[in-house]
Amino acid sequence: MNSSIFKQIEKQNVANIVMHTSLNQCLGSVVLAIKVGADPNMKTTGTPAYMMNGQLGALTAQATVATAPIAAKVIPATMQALIAVFTDNAGTFSVDMGPVVAQTQSVLVNGVATTVAINPNLPDYADTKLCVGCVKVVNNSAANFVPGTTALDAANIATTYYNLGAAFPQMYMANV
């Protein structure tokens, strides 16, 4: 799993993730992917066990993880965000989007302007949810990316899928 997405997460955000993953964990991979070509939705094909508030359960594969519920949260041209996929204690899937951020930022390094990449953050979420994966959406097009409308594989839209299974807590702690 590529851990670079989490290298620049703020310490407060890391503390939030630690709190959630200590109580709730996906014990395998949901195998998150685009539903089909030219589709705005995702799917899962994995069926991992999970723990929510100390109770074990098993997730079922989801033919559709709809992104339309967050359609009001657009990603403007040249910006990026993480769309997180959650489950609750009943195994019901939902999505939310983290803050929209620029792709790069100019900073001064020894008095010299340097461009650095910015990594987006996961959205905040309640203890009643478990984040099982996310997709990083980078909008390199001239138009807004609209969840539920814009295809995840549309031209000039770059997506990277992350399955946040059992390795997730160890992975991000190594990058703090």
| 81-122 pLDDT, tens digit each | 999 999 998 999 999 999 999 999 999 989 999 999 999 999
pTM of the predicted model, to two decimals? 0.81
Could you tell me where the beta strands, DSSP code E, fall in 22-165?
A: 25-26, 32-34, 42-44, 49-52, 55-58, 62-65, 79-87, 93-97, 101-102, 104-109, 112-117, 130-139, 157-163
Length of the chain: 176
Q: Are 164 and 84 in contact (CB under 8 A)?
A: no
Each residue's pLDDT tens digit, 26-44: 889 999 999 999 999 999 9
Q: Are 71 and 149 in contact (CB under 8 A)?
A: yes
Which residues constitute the domain of residue 113?
A: 4-173
The DSSP bridge partners found for residue 43 are 33
Q: Is 27 helix (H, G, I), strand (E, B) or coil?
A: coil
pLDDT of residue 1: 40
Chain centre to alpha carbon of residue 145: 15
Confidence tier at 165 by pLDDT (50, 70, 90): confident
The tally of domains found in the chain comes to: 1
Which residue, 41, 37, 47, is CA-closest to 64?
41
